[in-house]
Amino acid sequence: MSGTENKGTSRRAVLRGGLAAGAGLAVAGAARAEGTPDPLITEVQDWASSFGDPVDATPYGMPIRFESQVVRRNVEWLTESPVSSINFTPIHALEGTITPQGCAFERHHSGAIELSKPDYRLMIDGLVETPLVFTYEDLTRFPRETRTAFCECAANGGMEWGGAQLEGCQFTQGMIHNMEYVGVPLRLLLEEAGVKPEGKWVYAEGADASSNGRSMPLEKAMDDVLVAFYANGEALRKEHGYPVRLVVPGFEGNMWVKWLRRIGVYDQAVESREETSKYTDLMPDGRARKWTWVMDAKSVITSPSPQAPIYHGKGPLVITGLAWSGHGKVTRVDVSLDGGKNWQEAELTGEAQSKALTRFRLNIDWDGSELLLQSRAVDETGYVQPTKDALRAIRGTNSVYHNNGIQTWWVHENGEVENVEVA
């Protein structure tokens, strides 16, 4: 009754210009202002007269049904099994920087396991003075730290190395979430065990069948890595590692080991499956980079985007998006309306946090003409987000991971938006 259902208009019809034609909307808007009074105002609506839900209806709430499109999505053909697979955060529909946990992406290698706090154990062994076992309760007694950080899958955008493939930033940039974590610095746990001088590498593995073991240098482990048990105010979700995961700020998501069960200290890297066969980046000469841990500066315009077309016609238009860098703070985001010929600086909202998602916005007056929208992030090291072509000139098209190239959206006159590449 109040326009909450999706119209059954085909994409073809939309592309012909039927639904969101700017001129038609301008007329409609004027009619509403000057003509027939709006019955949503002049007639008493049911919700303004009778009761809504009581406070005991929903002990733990879900989004209102009208937001049912704001959910994780998966793409079946990307992987051979749904338990070693990926789904995507609906970043096209979100604002600000904090990702609601319930729609924050998942990536498992043997499914999301159920591990209770009483069953939980964390072992620290290897080159330490005293190998230790902690219960969950032990961990809650260590001093805590809070840190907001993005977790971006190394493969985010990997399907786009060869060209424009998937339609929507949920699919092309949505292997990411950003949460406020509370946990124990890994440094404190390692100090409790006492790392021996010959201990140079830390190997973390999970309690699940895949284990997902990864090696990291001791310096990173002693710097800003958290053994986290709260995210966005509450316990981790099952699918995000309940009850304990590793938070590795700025590093590729694969290293954020979930259901963390063991930290081994070694004198060398383990060179596990997830850092040899996978998460190594093939280069044009047939050799491959390994240990590409940091996620470089990146951004995407989340609206308008293919899943967030412009329905409202010409006039004021909010361009909004996300920027982030594994090297530190985002200091600037530029936006282009013409495919990179000309750029203007967007506004960063809130205080940019290091290695965390940052929201940017640019308000424009859209004249209804075609746009080629791009965003370009700059971080505090001076690194400027490259184009896909600039990356491919160095890396070729088979590196699978670490695609932080500039995204282009082709905005049509009817408000529809396409994923394209330009040259």
Partner 1 sequence: APAFAEKLGLGRPALPAEIAAWDVAVLPDGTGLPEGSGDVATGDEVFAEKCATCHGDFAEGIDNWPVLAGGEGSLKDRRPVKTIGSYWPHLSTVWDYIHRSMPFGAAQTVTPDEAYAITAFLLYSNGIVEDDFVLSKENFTSITMPNADGFYPDDRAESEYATFSGEACMTDCAAEVKVTKRAVTLNVTPTDPDGRPAGTLPNPDPV
Euclidean distance between CA atoms 224 and 211, whole angstroms? 22
Cβ contact 363:316 at 8 Å: yes
Hey, what are 325's tokens? 């860098």
Footprint on residues 5-24 left by partner 1 (CB under 8 A): 5-12, 14, 19-20, 24
Nearer to partner 1, 51 or 397 (CB): 397
3-state secondary structure of 274: helix
Regarding 290 and contact with partner 1 (CB under 8 A), the answer is yes
- Give the Å distances, CA to CA, from 67 to 70, 71, 82, 90, 168: 6, 8, 25, 11, 17
In eight-state DSSP terms, residue 44 is P
Euclidean distance between CA atoms 317 and 392, whole angstroms? 33
Footprint on residues 174-203 left by partner 1 (CB under 8 A): 188, 191-194, 203
Euclidean distance between CA atoms 68 and 201, whole angstroms? 45
- For partner 1, the binding residue among 254, 280, 325, 354 (CB under 8 A) is 280
| Burial zone of 7 (CB within 10 Å; 0-12 exposed, 13-18 middle, 19+ buried) | exposed
- For partner 1, the binding residue among 200, 237, 238, 273 (CB under 8 A) is 273
Cβ contact 301:320 at 8 Å: yes
- For partner 1, the binding residue among 177, 240, 262, 329 (CB under 8 A) is 262
Footprint on residues 336-355 left by partner 1 (CB under 8 A): 338-344
Size of the site for partner 1 (CB under 8 A): 124
Give, for 360, the enclosing helix (H) or strand (E).
strand 358-366
Nearer to partner 1, 93 or 356 (CB): 93
Nearer to partner 1, 240 or 298 (CB): 298
Nearer to partner 1, 23 or 367 (CB): 23
Euclidean distance between CA atoms 152 and 247, whole angstroms? 11
Regarding 39 and contact with partner 1 (CB under 8 A), the answer is no
- For partner 1, the binding residue among 157, 183, 250, 306 (CB under 8 A) is 306
Footprint on residues 41-60 left by partner 1 (CB under 8 A): none
Footprint on residues 208-247 left by partner 1 (CB under 8 A): 209-211, 213
- For partner 1, the binding residue among 85, 101, 165, 349 (CB under 8 A) is 165
Regarding 25 and contact with partner 1 (CB under 8 A), the answer is yes
β pairing state of 145-152 and 176-185: antiparallel
Residue type, 45: Q
79-98 footprint of partner 1 as x/- string (CB under 8 A):
-xx--x-----x-xx-----
How many residues are listed for the chain in this entry? Answer: 423
Regarding 409 and contact with partner 1 (CB under 8 A), the answer is no
